Structure 1
Amino acid sequence: MSPATRAVLLLGITQIIGYGTLIYAVVLAVPQISDSFGWSRAFGLSGFSLALIVAGLASPRAGRLIERFGGRSVMATGSATAALGLAAMSLIEGPVSYLLVWTVLGLGMAGTLYDPAFATLGSLFAHRARRLITSLTLIAGFASTVGWPTTLFLLETYGWRETYLVFAAVTACVALPLHLLLPRPVQPAFRTSPAAVPGPVTEDAGVVADGLARKRIFMLLAVAFSCAAFQFVGLSAHLLALLRDMGMPATAAVMVGTLIGPSQVGARVLELFFARNVSPLAVGLTSGGVILLAFAVLSLFGVGTPSAAVFAALYGGSNGLSTIVRGTLPLYLFGADGYAVLLGRIARPVLIVGALAPFALGVAFDFAGAWAALTLAFVASCLSCAALCMILVHCRRNARVNLPVAE
């Protein structure tokens, strides 16, 4: 087995564990925790939002550490931190300890989820990172498939304290050792400055050479990814409630929601096999177009089971592509030099905005209705698409080659 294949398999397993225990378990475990202490659901979820904010603040530092020491040690440290936080969750006795534990878990997220995993692959295998990132997201796409049923079984069988002890044990005994098995980073003796590389684009150099253009494109990229995160995280938290409020039966709404996961994986499979010669920027614009089409379907045909099913499929497919683009587009635009640091810097606004999205859509939902919340998500999607279009314009003016460019 090649080092690249081994790295993808190791990271795929650890991403399933990380997302299953740190992200997907929240929707099932937090209500039980809140009920046991008599807290509101809003306060219970505020701990998760705090963790995302902490992860966003810590991500640039994690990126710099990966750039300097490699992902092996950083992700192993992240697993150890996450295991400590998960174990501590089983011991909480009140709101203060609850929020402190989520702070620790936020630090663990910064070192274990997609951004550090993408940065690790980019730093180790820059010349073929795109296909490796896509392959990783295919494996990690099963995190909800594994995480939700497992969490539900543990909660119903043992309770939330014991569930978090099991999560801590799995993280410490499986994810941590697997991260330590990642390839050690290879420090090149010399790396040519991207601005000095002539000829065809490679992932080591990136397509944007001009320094001022790079700064502008970085800001636009942060806007595009943050707005996309706002739309996806916000709707993920409220979509079923929105559909029910607009007249869809609860059973039908849940069935529609089950289409999202398979659509994510399906879109990633299509990208892996049919978009290998398409630039990540073109894939990103396709993702943006798909989500706008999804909103158009609801607007034109109203909320019924067929239209909602089409919306969910398009919504899931768009997010499936967006996750890949979040790892591949920065590498394509800016190159491998400083890639880990760049991902960490981009992750800060993305995670913070994502943490605030459920609250923002919830306020719109409560005070102005379901369509107002959907409109807010639609506006965020439009801003994301607009930012990507502006990146395309800047690239055509400043790129080393004409776009779109095959990898």
Structure 2
Amino acid sequence: MFHGWRVVAACFVIAAVAWGLGTFGASVYLQAVTAAHGWPIADVAFAVTLFYLVSALVQRSVGRGIDRWGPRPVLLSGAISMALGVSAIGLIEARWQLYPCFVLIGLGWAALSTTGIAATVAPWFERHQGRSMALAIMGASVGAIVGVPALQLAIRRFGLEQGLLIVGAVAAVLLLPLIARVLRFRRPEEIGLQRDGHASLDEPTPAPVSPPIATAANRPVLLWSAAAAFALGLAMQIGFITHHVTLAQPLLGVEGAGFLVSATGGSAFIGRLILARIVDGVSVRKLACVVMIAQAAALLSLALWPTAPVLVGASLVYGYGIGHITTLGPIVVRREFGAAAFGATYGVAASAIQLVSAFGPAAIGVLRDSLGGYRPGLAIASAVTLIACAILFTGGRLAARS
């Protein structure tokens, strides 16, 4: 087997752990810490926000570090940081101690999430650049499905302190040997092959399916139109995910809302599977625009017709788009800019994307409280998603003209 596919498999596992202990684990820490210590939810929620902000600030450094030293030292540091941060949450006795814990988790998340994974996979593939990234980031869906129940089981079975110590130790034992062994090579040239593993270095280099289009003239338009579009789209997406249970509970009840969230996660998984199959043969900007339009329609339908059947259908449509939008950002940059210095290039965009999207949950919450319910906020979220689509499409057109 071409070693690049082993890199993809390793990144799949890394993504599952990172999303399980990071994005989706945050809701478990919020509930468990407030229940154990009786602290205000707002204080713990601010620590979770700090995790996202720290991650946003170091995304560029992660990309540059992988370009310079390779993925192994960067991802090893990230795995150690995340394992220590998760383990330490169970040991805290004062509220201020929450913040260093979530700083450690934020540093680990920055290294082990989209930027780290995309920069690790990018040098290994040309013809399968989109498929390889989609399959690697698909581990995020597994993290959503498995990570939260595993965290809840560990805390329920062993208590907050011992449960999180066990989770942190398991994460370290799983990730550290995997990263050290599989990610020991930075690019296929180190093992005498070209990208995709099709030929040796002595044979002609196969032409890329879609040559990079970035030039000195259009680089800013390409990069910042993608960054702005995916930042707005993901802000609304993260906001919807965070408020999904609260939105669904009045219509479906507690159990029904939980089932719908799981079904939405399954729809996202299907979306990533289909994306992996088609992405290398389509225009990725146009595909992202189509998905954003579908997500905007789903949000608007919820705002106009808040009934149980519409809620279920719109959630499944929106979930399918989640599987695309979270993955297409690095694929757009990789295709348009090429593999050279991809980590540093996408790291710049990822910092902006994560910084803006971190405020998505708060934005939806403020709209709900100030406008008297979710319906006006969902309509505004639909409009913001369409604006993101317009930015992405217009940026591609302007870059092509220049």
Q: Give TM-score scaled by structure 1 length.
A: 0.89
* Contact 1:80 1:172 survives alignment (8 Å): yes
Name which of 266, 269, 272 aligns with 2:270. 266
Please, which of 333, 354, 358 is the counterpart of residue 351 of structure 1? 354
Specify the alignment match of 2:388 in structure 1: 384
Corresponding residue SS for 1:159: helix
Shift of 1:204: 8.8
Find 1:317's aligned residue among 320, 330, 354. 320
Contact 2:11–2:137 under 8 Å retained in 1? no
Matched position secondary structure for 2:281? coil
Q: 1:255, CA displacement in angstroms? A: 2.9
Q: Which of the numbers 265, 290, 300 marks the counterpart of 1:286?
A: 290
Question: Once the two structures are aligned, what percentage of the paired residues are identical?
Answer: 23
- CA-CA distance at 1:51 after TM superposition: 0.6
Q: How many residues align?
A: 385
| 1:345-397 alpha-carbon deviations (Å, 9 max, x no partner) | 11112212222221121111122121132133223212211111112312431
**Helix, strand or coil: the match of 2:217?**
helix
Counterpart for residue 231 of structure 2: 226
* Greater CA drift, 247-256 or 280-289: 247-256
2:303/2:379 contact within 8 Å kept: no
Alignment CA distance shift 1:397-1:62 (3 Å):
same
> Equivalent of 1:202, from 201, 208, 211?
208
Aligned to 1:259, what secondary structure does the other structure show?
Answer: helix
| Partner residue in 1 for 2:248 | 243
Instruction: Name the structure 2 match of 1:184.
Output: 185
Q: Distance in 2 between matches of 1:203 and 1:359?
A: 41
**Aligned partner letter, 1:206:** P
Verify the 8 A CA contact 2:275 2:324 in the aligned structure 1: yes
How far does the alpha carbon of each residue in 1:206-239 deviate from its partner, in whole angstroms, 9 at most, with x for none? Answer: 1232x23211221111111110111111111112
Alpha-carbon distance between aligned partners in 2 of 1:236 and 1:41, rounded to the nearest angstrom:
18
SS in 2 for 1:212: coil
Aligned partners of 2:4, 2:184: CA distance in 1, in Å? 9
Q: Deviations over 1:289-317 (max 9, x none)?
A: 221221243245x1222111111111111
Find the counterpart in structure 2 of residue 192 from structure 1: none
CA distance in 2: counterparts of 1:373 and 1:158, whole angstroms: 40
Separation in structure 2 between the aligned mates of residue 341 and residue 42 of structure 1, nearest angstrom = 35
8 Å Cα contact 1:201/1:207 also seen in 2: no
Q: Contact 2:296–2:381 (CA<8 Å) still a contact in 1?
A: no
What's 1:19 paired with?
A: 19
Q: Check 1:213–1:253 CA distance in 2 against 1; reply closer, same or farther (3 A cut).
A: same
* Moved segments of 4+, more than 4 Å: none
Cα deviation, 1:174-222, whole Å, max 9, x if unaligned, reads 1121111214114979xxxxxxxxxx9837951232x232112211111
Q: CA deviation at 1:66?
A: 0.6
Query: Post-superposition shift, 1:248?
Result: 4.7
Read off the aligned partner of 2:363 and give its amino acid letter.
A
* 1:230–1:354 Cα contact (<8 Å) kept: yes
Tell me if the contact between 1:243 and 1:303 (Cα under 8 Å) persists in the aligned partners: no
Instruction: Give the aligned partner of residue 133 of structure 1.
Output: 133
Consecutive unaligned residues in structure 2, runs of 5 or more = 191-205
| Match status 1:173 vs 2:173 | yes
1:50–1:355 Cα contact (<8 Å) kept: no
The answer to whether the 8 Å contact 1:204/1:337 transfers is no
Match of 1:252 in 2: 256
Shift of 1:271: 2.0
Give CA deviations for 1:107-161 in whole Å, capped at 9, x if unaligned.
Answer: 1111111221011101333453211111113343211111122112112111222
**For residue 304 of structure 1, what is the amino acid of its counterpart?**
T
Q: Displacement, 1:253?
A: 2.9
> Structure 1 residue 65 and structure 2 residue 65: aligned?
yes
For the structure 1 residues 95 and 204, does the alpha-carbon distance in structure 2 shift closer, same or farther, using more than 3 Å as the test? farther
Is contact 2:300-2:379 (8 Å) kept?
Answer: no
Q: CA deviation at 1:169?
A: 0.4
The aligned residue for residue 43 of structure 2 is 43
The alignment yields a C-alpha RMSD, in angstroms, of 2.1
Task: Specify the alignment match of 1:193 in structure 2.
Answer: none
C-alpha deviation, 1:70, in angstroms: 1.2
SS in 2 for 1:158: helix
Paired residues of 2:297 and 2:382 also in contact (CA < 8 A): no
1:335 is matched with 338
Bigger mean CA offset, 267-276 vs 353-362: 267-276
1:223-262 alpha-carbon deviations (Å, 9 max, x no partner): 11110111111111112212345x5534433332222111
* Cα distance in 2 between the residues matched to 1:251 and 1:80: 36
How many angstroms does 1:275 deviate by?
4.2
Query: Unpaired segments of 5 or more residues in structure 1?
Result: 190-199, 399-407
TM-score when normalising by structure 2:
0.90
Shifted more, 161-170 versus 371-380: the winner is 371-380
Shift of the 187–273 alpha-carbon distance from structure 1 to 2, 3 Å rule, reads closer
- Partner of 2:39, secondary structure, is coil
